[in-house]
């Protein structure tokens, strides 16, 4: 039995996974906070305690994500796009397009049957189309992200936001609240705007089905529906969609070792 670890230090959430040979065994998710090194170590401690192992029992660890450089115990660092692709391929080898709706940015990744990335696009510098925009508006509506998702699905008349900019969007959302627009319509409007942004991104790449979605955005079922409507496709929804990158990191650790 050989154990491998994958750690994904993201801008909003950090995730870790241990795999045994080829099977995922356990995962852990924490808010990244402001000290990525501490977060990485906390995740490692939690994972190791769950499987009753020490770091020496882990054959290799691969780190990924924007905070990967803070994972001192990782053997190597690999970009999150590659890790996400490999992770998704290990679960669904038939998938050809991945929409990674993450906290800071959105990525569209094309992969081949071996899980190799053939092309990708990443949203530009601003938060438009990313999880951050949704978090900002959820805050305006005084709901958490779970409630936000459920709320948006109740909407019959989504608000049409004039902007996808998180800063201006926040102002617009506050104005809508002041006008008495129902929360669910505002939430649905945000999901629709985010889906539009993802749709624009998809124009830069030749989307190929089957498509899937991962990242924190995949937990927002209202957003998933909005994307499906916008792109006119059916999205495969993996279990624990936030953990695909750390799963992929662990898979790469295993593949490199063997």
Partner 1 sequence: MEETLKRFIAAKQSLYDNLKQWKKASGKKIIGCHPMDIPEEIVHAAGMLPITLMGFDGAITHATRSLQPTIACNILLENLEMCLNGTLDFLDGVIFADVCDTIPILSDIWLRHSHHVLHHLMVMPKHLNSPSSRRRVSEQFLRLKAAIEKQNNKKISDRDLKHSIGVYNQNRRLLKRLCDLRRCKPGLLSASDVSTVVTAGMLMRKEDHNQLVEQLLLELENLPVPTSDMHVKLIVSGSLCGHCDSVLSVIDAQGAYILEDDLYIGSRYFTSLTNEYIDPIEALAQRYVDDIPSPTKFFDANAWANYISNMVIRDKADGIIIVMRKLCEIHADDFPCIQNKLNNGGIPCLMIEIERAGVSEQDKTRIQAFIDMLGVQ
The contact set with partner 1 (CB under 8 A) reads: 11, 66, 78-82, 104-105, 107, 116-117, 120, 122-125, 252
Our CB check for partner 1 shows the closer of 123 and 225 to be: 123
Strand partners, 107: 100, 122
Our CB check for partner 1 shows the closer of 59 and 104 to be: 104
Q: How far is the CB of 250 from partner 1 (least distance, A)?
A: 15
Q: How far is the CB of 124 from partner 1 (least distance, A)?
A: 7
The burial class, CB within 10 Å (0-12 / 13-18 / 19+), for 156 is exposed
Q: How far is the CB of 179 from partner 1 (least distance, A)?
A: 32
Our CB check for partner 1 shows the closer of 11 and 163 to be: 11
Asked if 61 and 253 touch (Cβ cutoff 8 Å), the reply is yes
116: how many CB neighbours lie within 10 A of its CB? 12
Q: How far is the CB of 204 from partner 1 (least distance, A)?
A: 11
Asked if 72 and 233 touch (Cβ cutoff 8 Å), the reply is no
**What is the C-alpha to C-alpha distance for residues 231 and 17, in angstroms, rounded to an integer?**
31
Our CB check for partner 1 shows the closer of 11 and 59 to be: 11
Asked if 2 and 57 touch (Cβ cutoff 8 Å), the reply is no
Q: How far is the CB of 83 from partner 1 (least distance, A)?
A: 9
Our CB check for partner 1 shows the closer of 65 and 241 to be: 65
Q: How far is the CB of 49 from partner 1 (least distance, A)?
A: 30
As a whole number of Å, the end-to-end CA separation of the chain is: 13
Residue 60 is classified by DSSP as: E
Strand partners, 109: 98, 120
Residues 6+ apart with CB under 8 A from 109: 81, 84, 85, 97, 98, 100, 117, 119, 120
Our CB check for partner 1 shows the closer of 76 and 153 to be: 76
């Amino acid at each position: 039995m050989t154990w491998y670890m994958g750690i994904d230090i993201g801008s909003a959430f950090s995730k870790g996974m241990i795999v045994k040979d080829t099977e995922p065994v356990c995962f852990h998710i924490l808010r990244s906070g402001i000290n990525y090194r501490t977060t990485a170590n906390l995740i490692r401690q939690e994972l190791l305690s769950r499987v009753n192992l020490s770091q020496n029992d882990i054959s290799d660890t691969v780190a990924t994500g924007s905070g990967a450089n803070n994972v001192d115990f990782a053997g190597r660092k690999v970009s999150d796009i590659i890790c996400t692709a490999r992770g998704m391929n290990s679960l669904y080898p038939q998938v050809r397009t991945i929409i990674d709706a993450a906290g800071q940015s959105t990525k569209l990744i094309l992969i081949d049957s071996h899980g190799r990335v053939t092309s990708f696009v990443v949203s530009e510098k601003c938060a438009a189309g990313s999880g951050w925009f949704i978090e900002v508006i959820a805050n305006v509506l005084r709901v958490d992200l779970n409630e936000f998702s459920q709320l948006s699905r109740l909407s019959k008349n989504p608000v049409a936001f004039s902007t996808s900019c998180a800063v201006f969007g926040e102002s617009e959302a506050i104005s809508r609240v002041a006008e008495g627009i129902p929360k669910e319509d505002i939430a649905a409007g945000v999901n629709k705007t985010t889906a539009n942004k993802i749709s624009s991104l998809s124009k830069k790449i030749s989307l190929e089905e089957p498509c899937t979605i991962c990242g924190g955005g995949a937990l927002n079922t209202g957003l998933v529906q909005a994307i499906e409507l916008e792109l006119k496709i059916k999205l495969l929804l993996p279990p624990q969609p936030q953990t695909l990158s750390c799963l992929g990191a662990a898979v790469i650790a295993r593949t490199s070792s063997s």
